[in-house]
Structure 1
């Protein structure tokens, strides 16, 4: 772990839709090391063996890739973790099946994880004693795991009313009960005032701290773009500088990046700069440091189009012009190929990904 940050700061690959490739995940290790970030959590929603089929083992080839990725992070001295979503264990039918959780944790122990995340997001909340049950499962996992740090993601991980709209009303005093029953050594993910929060006001973080009985571990949904609306955009601006003012009130911060691996770099590099230097990151400087001069020039020029207008504001003719602009640059800058792929519809949001 890097020592430049007073809190752990890193990346959680926790988005829906098209996932990163294994070589990209391994490449991220050197990127994080270079930018003084501390950890990576492997938790893509597309991995069924961490979600819908979590009881089953990964196929041999996929497990070899996961193990090799873990070793890459060890070599780079970056902490590595996995996010597991045993959602059905919270139901009446799953309560008697904790042996499956034990077996899964013991299997994951062979990776010698630094982080283990137990993720209870994206599930119905109308389950009796939901907070108590999740606390029990998290503590069971923590007792069996050899990970140095365990983090729980609650079902209601923000004050955003959209969560109750989608997953039903939260149980009364859900967060307070979770905080009271959960071992203080276990961290709790929180996305802020909204699912995708632009800012983290001090007053808000203090309120969450009081309700949970601990500092929240921020799951920062910037620059993630996996939803129906956000997938229409590429967020190339650096992370906002107010993340620095949040540091005294949080246990750590995990940035959830975009489906586009290389296009996520400016936000992540900006997060590093904010946390280590407490200076507002300059977009042009970051783009020039990450990409070739020509690509950085075009990205700065097209940034308003990608971030604000997005695909819906572009005609087919506009898209073709942009594709012709970036295609030659794909030889030296992989982000250019990603942009062309995005413009051509390669990252179109598929609602079916939400049920995988």
Structure 2
């Protein structure tokens, strides 16, 4: 048994192209990925400039992507990050939110996400303010499903250091106030959780008063440190027993739209094979399926350098990698060369300003 799986394009930095989005959804849909949520941090019209309308060409591309999802039987959704709206949900903010909800409805969204992540949250009435906004939006959207991301979406204290100390009992209070029909994202014990456990999920279910909707931050590689690595190995630490304890399992993919399909193919295998699952074998099989042979074998031989060593520490190995992948007529090989060229580097400034 596996839960509903999906793609959450929610990373910082260089976003996927429209073609990359469509082809990735097409590739993963037959493997159980049944929803796609459009929420790249680089879309300023969903985040820092959320009150402004998308340019016409951008809106047209989104409409085409939504239609593409529908043609595949994949749920299409949009994530709105109304930047620090809970500081003052006044008439101007309500009008702007109403316009954005109408825009999403015109696209035909089935899923609407209200995202309060990565914003200042150190105010005593945070849960009350956010619950008011979510309730207001849920009553005005045509989406079939609404999902909210709390400001503190993990136990990880790094959020408190960066965005201010979370209010006492924040998660529990938000879970109490938000309609139980609305889902809530959760990234686990850490922002980038290495391993999930049933006891943890049971505890979070009690706190949220609903099963968590997982926002899994692997294989994403969008931080200043993480962009130094290509996340290619199969999923680990996601036992099949999780399936009964989550509302759904969304994956935040890597910046490399083709290479990310390798680890993402292994998540369904992890659920389906249970205790028989081998991430080592699953990675090798997925590499061949995504890249074909012999390129899949070549990448498999280089996983140690691509995922573990780091771009700035490759030294002489960089020349070897360039020789192996330069001129190979495959988008996955071109992504490796672009990564070596620094095209996917993320800086702290990018994270702080998107």
Alignment TM-score, normalising by the size of structure 2: 0.95
Cα pair distance change 1:241/1:176, threshold 3 Å: closer
Whole-Å separation in 2 of the counterparts to 1:86 and 1:95: 14
CA contact (8 A) 1:12 1:255 kept: yes
Q: Which moved more, 1:275-284 or 1:30-39?
A: 275-284
Alpha-carbon deviation of 1:348? 1.4
- Equivalent residue for 2:47? 51
CA contact (8 A) 2:4 2:32 kept: no
- Equivalent residue for 1:326? 325
CA contact (8 A) 1:46 1:353 kept: no
Alpha-carbon deviation of 1:351? 2.1
The Cα offsets for residues 161-190 of structure 1, whole Å up to 9 and x where unpaired, read as 101010111011100100100000000000
Aligned residues between the structures: 349
- Equivalent residue for 1:337? 334
Which residues of 2 match residues 108-257 of structure 1 at below 5 A?
108-240=104-236, 242-257=238-253
Alpha-carbon deviation of 1:22? 0.3
Unpaired runs of 5+ residues, structure 2, are none
Alpha-carbon deviation of 1:65? 0.5
Alpha-carbon deviation of 1:313? 2.0
- Equivalent residue for 1:283? 283
Helix, strand or coil: the match of 1:87?
coil
Alpha-carbon deviation of 1:92? 3.3
Whole-Å separation in 2 of the counterparts to 1:93 and 1:193: 31
Alpha-carbon deviation of 1:29? 2.4
CA contact (8 A) 1:89 1:98 kept: no
Calculate the aligned-residue CA RMSD, in Å.
1.5
CA contact (8 A) 1:32 1:39 kept: no
Alpha-carbon deviation of 1:30? 1.4
Alignment TM-score, normalising by the size of structure 1: 0.94
Alpha-carbon deviation of 1:119? 0.4
- Equivalent residue for 1:271? 267
Helix, strand or coil: the match of 1:218?
strand
Whole-Å separation in 2 of the counterparts to 1:66 and 1:175: 33
Alpha-carbon deviation of 1:230? 0.9
Q: Which moved more, 1:216-225 or 1:232-241?
A: 232-241
